[in-house]
Amino acid sequence: MLRMAAATRTKAKAKKKAASKKKTVRKSAAKKSPAKKKVSKKTAAKKTAKKKSAAKAKRKTPALYTPPRKYSIAFSVNGARVETETPAHTSLLYLLRDLGFTEVKNGCEAGDCGACTILLDGVAINACVALGVQVDGREITTVKGIGTVENLHPIQKKFIEHGGIQCGFCTPGMIVAAKALLDDNPSPSREEIKVGIAGNLCRCTGYVKIIDAIEAAASEMASM
Ligand code: FES
Ligand code: FES
């Protein structure tokens, strides 16, 4: 019994000794830690500075240019099929002119002057206030699709005969608007003609001759 008690005491002493050793080791480690802390603070400061300068550089670097996405569209102009690609923001006026249909005139780009008038599926619209992507699968007629030099449409003939063409800038749009009017109303009164071309401005102020020409074209077409 006595021997056992002595053995237990020895074990307890050994445990105590081991525990105190551990404490000593921890203490010495704790003594060393301020230095360690100093190092980690420095590293953290360096990291923060690095991050800040990276963020600054990022702010200064201009964003890389991303070209606008283009959409594939197909439509017809004066009976000919056109296949092209266009960004969503390009106006129909720019699209047509870029494709070579320069008979569609650019006057105001705001839907005010009518110089860019075209027929879209037979309806007169201002190409400058429509988007190119909107004509996918549709039919466009410009002044060149109404008649040819060899075979003029009665409206074109009468514009020439009545002097309805002065500088000629408004003429493509005027003729397209007149075509839409006569398609819809083959025998318009002078007042109806004025309303029909109300969206088309002529800077040469030759409205009387233009109205005469449309009236004459209507009567010629009625007799055909
Ligand atoms: S250019 Fe289209 S209305 Fe003037
Ligand atoms: S003929 Fe010149 S703008 Fe009309």
List, as one string, the DSSP characters of 167-189.
Answer: S-SSHHHHHHHHHHHHHH-SS--
CA of 169 to the centre of ligand 2 (A): 5
- pLDDT: is 40 or 25 the higher one? 40
Q: Tell which one of 169, 205, 207 to mutate to probe ligand 2, the residue whose CB is within 8 A of the most ligand atoms.
A: 169
Of ligand 1's atoms, which has the minimum distance to the CA of residue 114? Answer: 3
In a domain, 116, yes or no: yes
Ligand 2 binding site (Cβ under 6 Å of any ligand atom): 166-171, 202-204, 206
Q: How far apart are CA 25 and CA 40, in angstroms?
A: 22
Q: Tell which one of 156, 159, 166 to mutate to probe ligand 2, the residue whose CB is within 8 A of the most ligand atoms.
A: 166
CA of 108 to the centre of ligand 1 (A): 5
Give Cα 179 to chain centroid, integer Å: 31
Tell me the CA end-to-end span of the chain in Å, nearest whole number.
140
In a domain, 24, yes or no: no
Residue 21 pLDDT > 70, yes or no?
no
Q: How far apart are CA 153 and CA 204, in angstroms?
A: 23
- pLDDT of 40 reads 73
pLDDT tens across 171-182, in order?
999 999 999 999
Region 106-123 average pLDDT? 98
Ligand 1 binding site (Cβ under 6 Å of any ligand atom): 106-109, 111-116, 126, 128
In a domain, 14, yes or no: no
Identity of residue 61: T
- pLDDT: is 99 or 41 the higher one? 99
Region 113-137 average pLDDT? 98
Q: Whose CA is closest to atom 3 on ligand 1?
A: 111
Of ligand 1's atoms, which has the minimum distance to the CA of residue 105? Answer: 1
Domain that holds residue 136: 70-222
| Least confidently predicted of 46-55, 88-97, 153-162 | 46-55
Q: Is 148 exposed, middle or buried (0-12, 13-18, 19+ CB in 10 A)?
A: exposed
User: Count of CB atoms within 10 A of residue 111's CB?
Assistant: 14
- pLDDT: is 208 or 53 the higher one? 208
- pLDDT of 200 reads 98
In a domain, 8, yes or no: no
Of ligand 1's atoms, which has the minimum distance to the CA of residue 111? Answer: 3
Q: Tell which one of 95, 96, 108 to mutate to probe ligand 1, the residue whose CB is within 8 A of the most ligand atoms.
A: 108
In a domain, 131, yes or no: yes
Q: Whose CA is closest to atom 4 on ligand 2?
A: 202
Work out how many domains the chain is built from and give that number.
Answer: 1
In this prediction, residue 12 has a pLDDT band, given cuts at 50, 70 and 90, of low
189 within 8 A of 167, measured Cβ to Cβ: no
Region 214-222 average pLDDT? 98
CA of 123 to the centre of ligand 2 (A): 23
Residue 30 pLDDT > 80, yes or no?
no
In a domain, 58, yes or no: no
In a domain, 86, yes or no: yes
- pLDDT of 2 reads 45
Identity of residue 18: A
For residue 95, give the H/E element and its range: helix 92-98
Residue 106 pLDDT > 80, yes or no?
yes
Instruction: Kindly report the CATH number assigned to the domain that includes residue 150.
Output: 3.10.20.30
pLDDT tens across 63-74, in order?
788 899 999 999
Taking the complete model, does pTM exceed 0.75, yes or no?
Answer: no
In a domain, 44, yes or no: no
